[in-house]
Amino acid sequence: MDKLRIAGGKRLVGSIPIGGAKNAALPLMCASLLTDEVLTLRHVPRLADIDTMTHLLQQHGVTITLLGANGRSNGQKNGGVTVKLQADDIASTTAPYDLVRKMRASVLVLGPLVARHGQARVSLPGGCAIGTRPIDLHLKGLQALGAEIELEGGYVSARAPHGLVGARVVFPTVSVGATENLLMAATLARGSTVLVNAAREPEITDLAQCLVAMGAGIEGVGTDEITIHGVERLHAADHAIVPDRIEAGTYAIAAAITGGDVELLGVDLPLIEAPARVLAEAGVAVTATEKGVRVAAGNRRPTGVDVMTEPFPGFPTDLQAQMMALMTVAEGAAMITETIFENRFMHVPELCRMGANINVHGASAMVRGVPALTGAPVMATDLRASVSLVLAGLAARGETMVNRIYHLDRGYERLEDKLAACGAAVERVRG
């Protein structure tokens, strides 16, 4: 298994291109199931999760063509590829366990398949490293639209032989995935659907904009009440994926933790407003530039800032581990509270092995800043926890070896290249 070796203590200076958002690309790829015409997606990041989704959709019968690297309209190379997806013939409506267990987002095929094909069978994703993460909200929502749901042999079967029917769906808690599944399903339902307490993440806005380009009738995009007027069929569209705010936030924190000065290319400041606000409070200058966002840390330690994760526009749970890494070396203390997922503090013991002072009490972690971390062999069991250890390693004295980096490859395209281009001493050790 590959590892990442980091010699800490190098200031990051330079620019980093930000790719298309993984969490937008995954539902957008599933949206191809809603039409027999070609859906063209630009800036699709090259990541293991995208490969998993590609395999899943191919076995459903989607023809997928990669068109090679492309650049953003402002001329910045952001990596990524253009992908053409065509679901002219659905070969199978079953999403098998082997693929779903690799990636929870596989459950996003459920809504589109049942909406277009009247039935779908999707393996239950099962437990997960960051809590139990059920899919009950997805299923209740589809039931409200008239689907018959059965659970059998570890699979969810959804059937709507006469089509879905628009309804009012009130989500008791905000769920990104359930909002996306229902948004897609409702585009082909008879009549109108209202999603109340819908998630407002930019990736949902991106999905809605693509669905509108495919011919869907959607109002209230970007608010917590989305109305979808069902149409008979959707058609071809060409869509550029929104930049990855979590990748951008991660590199912003990388700049901050190394006392660096980095320009994040291709991302707009409003996309990372909540993390930018925390960085600013910590004493890091975050400013909009012509090409993106500049993050410049002064010549002193950051100040401890309390952080609580919340649905968008609040502070994202997917940046909690990274921000905690920064707070381990802050002047003063920081209380970090995780409200979205239970059990999302797996990075804590590993950060402590590097010299951090963190005490967890339920959903909160009290981080007392130390002057410096020391390098150590570490590993983590999920994507964002793993990258938080990379950030800690960039700031630590001595060498850090991050094991099990296949988690990183699920969500960060060419992580070591992007960091190395800004002066980090980081290399992949094949194994």
Distance separating alpha carbons of residues 319 and 312, to the nearest angstrom: 12
Q: How crowded is residue 417: how many other Cβ atoms within 10 Å of its Cβ?
A: 12
Distance separating alpha carbons of residues 409 and 49, to the nearest angstrom: 8
Of 156 and 396, CB closest to ligand UD1: 156
Least distance in Å: CB of 135 to ligand UD1?
Answer: 4
Q: Which two tokens stand for residue 75?
A: 């001329």
Q: Which two tokens stand for residue 330?
A: 């802050």
Of 173 and 289, CB closest to ligand UD1: 173
Least distance in Å: CB of 173 to ligand UD1?
Answer: 5
Of 15 and 317, CB closest to ligand UD1: 317
Cis peptide before 311 (omega within 30 of 0): no
Residue nearest to ligand UD1 (CB): 177
**Any catalytic annotation for residue 128?**
yes
Of 131 and 191, CB closest to ligand UD1: 131
Least distance in Å: CB of 26 to ligand UD1?
Answer: 5
Distance separating alpha carbons of residues 324 and 302, to the nearest angstrom: 12
Of 126 and 134, CB closest to ligand UD1: 134
Q: Evaluate whether 372 touches 330 at the Cβ level (below 8 Å).
A: no
Of 134 and 349, CB closest to ligand UD1: 134
Q: Considering 128, 210, 352, 422, which one is annotated as catalytic?
A: 128
Of 176 and 307, CB closest to ligand UD1: 176
H or E element that contains 366: strand 364-368
The closest of 233, 236, 234 to 39, measured between CA atoms, is 236
Q: Which two tokens stand for residue 325?
A: 């890494």
Q: Which two tokens stand for residue 156?
A: 């969810």
Least distance in Å: CB of 71 to ligand UD1?
Answer: 25
Least distance in Å: CB of 303 to ligand UD1?
Answer: 26
Torsion region of 165: left, alpha or beta (phi above 0 gives left; psi -120 to 50 gives alpha): beta
Least distance in Å: CB of 163 to ligand UD1?
Answer: 23
| Residues forming a β-bridge with 218 | 228
Least distance in Å: CB of 297 to ligand UD1?
Answer: 26
Q: Give CA torsion, residues 206, 272, 258, 10, to 10 deg.
A: 30
Of 77 and 168, CB closest to ligand UD1: 168
**What letter does residue 190 receive in the DSSP assignment?**
B
Distance separating alpha carbons of residues 397 and 86, to the nearest angstrom: 51
Least distance in Å: CB of 16 to ligand UD1?
Answer: 20
At 203, which amino acid appears?
Answer: E
Q: Within 354-420, where are the H helices?
A: 383-395, 406-411, 415-420
The residues near 183 (Cβ < 8 Å, ≥ 6 apart) are 111, 195, 198, 204, 207, 208, 211, 218, 226, 228
- Residues that bind ligand UD1 in the complex, under the rule CB under 6 A: 23, 26, 104-105, 131, 133-138, 173, 175-178, 317-318, 340-341
Q: Evaluate whether 113 touches 157 at the Cβ level (below 8 Å).
A: no
Count of residues making up the chain: 431
**What letter does residue 83 receive in the DSSP assignment?**
E
The closest of 308, 309, 358 to 329, measured between CA atoms, is 358
Residues annotated as part of the active site: 128
